[in-house]
Amino acid sequence: MAEDLEQTEEGGDVDQDAMLAEWEAMANEDSDGEAAVSETSTGSTRVLDQSEIDSLLGVDVDGSEENEKSGIQAILNSALVSYERLPMLEVVFDRLVRMMSTSLRNFTSDNVEVSLDNISSARFGDYLNSIPLPAMLAVFKAEEWDNYGLMTVDSALIYSIVDVLLGGRRGTAAMRIEGRPYTTIERNLVERMVHVVLGDLSAAFDPLSPTTFRFERLETNPRFATIARAANATVVVTLRVDMEDRGGRIELLIPYATLEPVRELLLQMFMGEKFGRDSIWEGHLTAELWQTEVNLKAVLDQIELPLRDILNWTEGSRLELNCTPKSKIEMHCGDIPLFKGFMGRKGGHIAVRVAEKIVREQGGESE
């Protein structure tokens, strides 16, 4: 018994030394970052690195907007309505770009080039959180549609407009002073430019649906420019304004709720498109309808009798009608009464001379 105990204690010492050596090796591997995968006899557990996690979540680490969003981010954004379902909207903003190029040249007396950078869809709350500050946010209202939109002017364009309108030297970049609010002069000059852009936006929508975009207020805090719920889908249009070596961006945000009154018009592929209508087929159908033969029935009189009296009729029974030779009779097409007239004779045939049209009770108009 004593020998067995000694052997067990010695074996236990050996096992403890082996376990300590194994733990120390594992600790060294973890500290060196070489043990990212641990394997067991029953299976393996794999730890995802940061790039794989970003790929799963659909996060663009490089910040490039060219790559399409994937993963969970794509699932979250799948509920957004794509502006491509409104083809006419791009035509409207192309007209806006051409009009702004002319109007801003007249406004600044400088060579101004306006280009359309991007048209995209975004949640209103996400857009407010992505606005680079400082910036000016102009809230405007579409009078005929009874809803609002938002125009964002970035700081680069604000200082460029102020520099151009107040006679700044060409060839020098617009100065940007950090840490101070916009002055009254800067706000007034930007407000004048906003009025010019809104006038062009109204003119761009005129061929589609005449509407007036009226300036409401100018804000510098995005929280005070809330015009829709955070989850509402919106169309964001980014315009680039270049004045030789100066310029900046204007972003127009229009909620889909604002565009709802003209949604059917924006679904057109080209201006004046008529959905489901073919003018050639309409003309052919109209010509054929005018030549359609209609059977008319001349009704002398209508009376109601109990069924037992009708069953008692025999050959030779007489039915008395409440009409005279001068009474008007009705002419029916199916069950629909159309005309009233007088019965007579013409050329050996019984004829009816139409005296008046019957006004239908449901329509209230003469048929």
Residue 39: how many CB atoms within 10 A of its CB? 9
pLDDT tens for each residue of 330-340: 888 888 888 88
In the chain, the amino acid numbered 262 is V
What is the rounded average pLDDT of the residues 45-71?
62
Q: Give whole-number Cα distances, 225 to 135, 253, 254, 318, in Å.
A: 12, 11, 13, 86
Q: Please name the residue that has the structure tokens 């201006």.
A: 271
Q: For 253-299, what is each residue's pLDDT tens digit?
A: 999 888 888 888 887 766 554 544 556 777 888 888 888 888 888 88
pLDDT value for 337:
84
Band of pLDDT at residue 179, cut at 50, 70 and 90: low
Q: Where are the alpha helices (H) located in the chain, listed in sequence order?
A: 2-32, 50-57, 71-77, 87-108, 124-130, 155-165, 184-205, 256-259, 263-266, 279-290, 307-311
The residue whose two tokens read 């903003």 is 93
Sort strands 297-299 and 233-243 into parallel, antiparallel or unpaired: unpaired
Count of H-run helices and E-run strands, the chain: 11, 12
Domains and CATH numbers, the chain: 83-266 (3.40.1550.10), 293-308+322-367 (2.30.330.10)
Q: What is the tens place of the pLDDT at every residue in 213-238?
A: 999 989 888 888 888 888 888 889 99
Average pLDDT estimate for 23-38: 52
Q: Please give the pLDDT value at position 233.
A: 86
- 8 Å CB contact between 25 and 17: no
pLDDT at site 239: 92
What is the H or E stretch that residue 147 is in?
Answer: strand 147-154
Residue 330: what pLDDT?
85
Query: Tokens representing 203?
Result: 């003119």
- pLDDT value at position 41? 42
Three-state DSSP state, 317: coil
Band the pLDDT of 53: cuts 50, 70, 90: confident
Look up residue 220 and give its two tokens. 């510098």
pLDDT > 50? residue 14: no
Per the model's pLDDT, the better-predicted residue between 234 and 301 turns out to be 234
Query: Which residues pair with residue 46 across a beta bridge?
Result: 37
- What single-letter DSSP state applies at residue 366? B
Please answer whether residues 245 and 150 qualify as being in contact, where contact means their C-beta atoms are separated by less than 8 angstroms. Answer: no
User: Quick one: the chain helix, strand, coil %, rounded to 5?
Assistant: 40, 25, 35
Write the pLDDT tens digit of every residue in 104-139: 988 888 888 898 888 888 888 888 888 888 889 999
CB 342 within 8 A of CB 300: no
CB neighbour list of residue 39: distance below 8 Å, 6 or more residues apart: none
* Mean pLDDT, residues 157-178: 73
346 vs 21, higher pLDDT? 346
